[in-house]
Amino acid sequence: MRDGKQVSPKEFTQTRRVAFAEQSLYADTGLVVKQFHEGSTIILKSLEEWHPPVRNMINELAALTGTQVKADVFFTPPHAKALVVHRDEFHIFAVQLHGAKDWVLQGVPEGDSWHGGPAPADTLHEPEEVTIKSGNVMFLEAGTAHSAKSQDTSSMHIAFEFRSFRITDRLDQVIREITAAEGAGFVSLDTDVAARQIRSALSRISGETATLDTSTLARDAAQKLIADSTRHGVTFGK
pLDDT (tens digit per residue) in 4-33: 999 999 999 999 998 889 999 999 999 999
Residue 169 has pLDDT above 80, yes or no: no
Residue 204 CA to residue 182 CA, distance in Å, equals 9
Task: Say what the pLDDT of residue 238 is.
Answer: 36
Tell me if 90 sits within 8 A of 160, measured CB to CB. Answer: no
Q: How confident is the model at residue 235 (pLDDT cuts 50, 70, 90)?
A: very low
Query: SS3 for 191?
Result: helix
The lowest-confidence range among 81-90, 190-199, 216-225 is 216-225
Q: How confident is the model at residue 237 (pLDDT cuts 50, 70, 90)?
A: very low
Task: Say what the pLDDT of residue 229 is.
Answer: 57
Residue 141 CA to residue 92 CA, distance in Å, equals 7
In the predicted model, what is the mean pLDDT of the chain? 88
Q: How confident is the model at residue 93 (pLDDT cuts 50, 70, 90)?
A: very high
Residue 28: exposure state from Cβ atoms within 10 A (0-12, 13-18, ≥19): middle
